[in-house]
């Protein structure tokens, strides 16, 4: 329970799940007037799946959070206070930690096309300096700081600013919609801030992980590469 729970509107999006999730959600939360359940008639992907819920939002801030991410009880209060104290912040995200306590490095530099290729091939052993720059390995994950972009699993923005930017780009079904959004935030003169003062629990590993041969075995890797092509074409 968040310390500012009484100030929240909660919007749960069922992105056309293939099990009984929607029934479970309606039975558990349907009687609460401050909780809205949005059911998509098809899987719209990450960006547009979230957009279906955001259309119903009326609050000052938007917290976009994956169901496997859990904030500490005062996490959202701390994050909103940080944004209220500094209007130059366009997007803010907490530190993410996996179940074993390891830190998910949810921040990266804006990628070049070569970075995606290097990361998935044997070249990662020979072009380590280039890969380290893309993965932002020099960044201390315990320090509050500006970063190029943050993974979209738990991010906070002002709702009006999100809408002014046009929200998530519809061209991205899954992956790179967060990278693209952060790039537009920087272009609009606002900052993207990594905020490890708040530590959130992250329940699973990245769906896009895998080497070059995983394109034949993992659908999510193929989607990731398709999104990469769209991203680099857009920002060419």
| Residue 230 counted as domain residue | no
Least confident of 30-44, 95-109, 163-177, 210-224: 210-224
With cut-offs at 50, 70 and 90, classify the pLDDT of residue 120.
confident
Range of the domain at 186: 5-112+141-204
| Residue 224 counted as domain residue | no
User: CATH no. for residue 179?
Assistant: 3.90.550.10
Q: Tell me the average pLDDT across 113-135.
A: 90
| Residue 236 counted as domain residue | no
For residue range 78-109, list pLDDT tens digits in order.
999 999 999 999 999 999 999 999 999 999 99
| Residue 216 counted as domain residue | no
Taking the C-alpha atoms of residue 155 and residue 148, their distance in angstroms, rounded to an integer, is 14
With cut-offs at 50, 70 and 90, classify the pLDDT of residue 207.
low
* Chain centroid, CA 180 distance in Å: 11
Total structural domains within the chain: 1
Q: Following DSSP, what letter does each residue of 211-227 receive, concatenated? A: -GGGGGT-HHHHHHHHH
pLDDT of 212 strictly over 50: no
> Which distant-in-sequence residues (6+ apart) come within 8 Å of 217 by Cβ?
210
| Residue 231 counted as domain residue | no
pLDDT for res 123: 87
């Amino acid at each position: 329970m968040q310390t500012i729970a009484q100030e929240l509107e909660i919007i749960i999006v069922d992105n056309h799940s293939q099990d009984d999730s929607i029934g479970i959600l309606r039975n558990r939360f349907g009687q609460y007037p401050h909780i809205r359940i949005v059911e998509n008639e098809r899987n719209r992907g990450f960006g547009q799946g979230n957009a279906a819920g955001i259309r119903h939002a009326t609050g000052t801030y938007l917290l976009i959070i994956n169901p496997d991410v859990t904030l500490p009880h005062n996490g959202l209060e701390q994050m909103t206070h940080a944004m209220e104290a500094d209007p130059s912040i366009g997007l803010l995200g907490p530190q993410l930690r996996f179940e074993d306590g390891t830190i998910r490095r949810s921040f990266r530099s804006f990628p070049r096309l070569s970075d995606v290729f290097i990361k998935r091939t044997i070249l990662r052993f020979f072009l380590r300096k280039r890969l380290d720059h893309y993965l932002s390995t020099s960044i201390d994950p315990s320090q509050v700081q500006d970063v190029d972009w943050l993974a979209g699993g738990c991010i906070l923005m002002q709702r009006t600013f999100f809408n002014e930017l046009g929200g998530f780009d519809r061209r991205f079904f899954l992956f790179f919609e967060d990278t693209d959004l952060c790039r537009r935030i920087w272009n609009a003169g606002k900052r993207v801030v990594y905020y490890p003062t708040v530590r959130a629990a992250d329940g699973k590993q990245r769906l896009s992980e895998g080497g070059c041969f995983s394109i034949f075995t993992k659908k999510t890797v193929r989607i990731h590469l398709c999104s990469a092509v769209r991203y680099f074409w857009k920002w060419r």
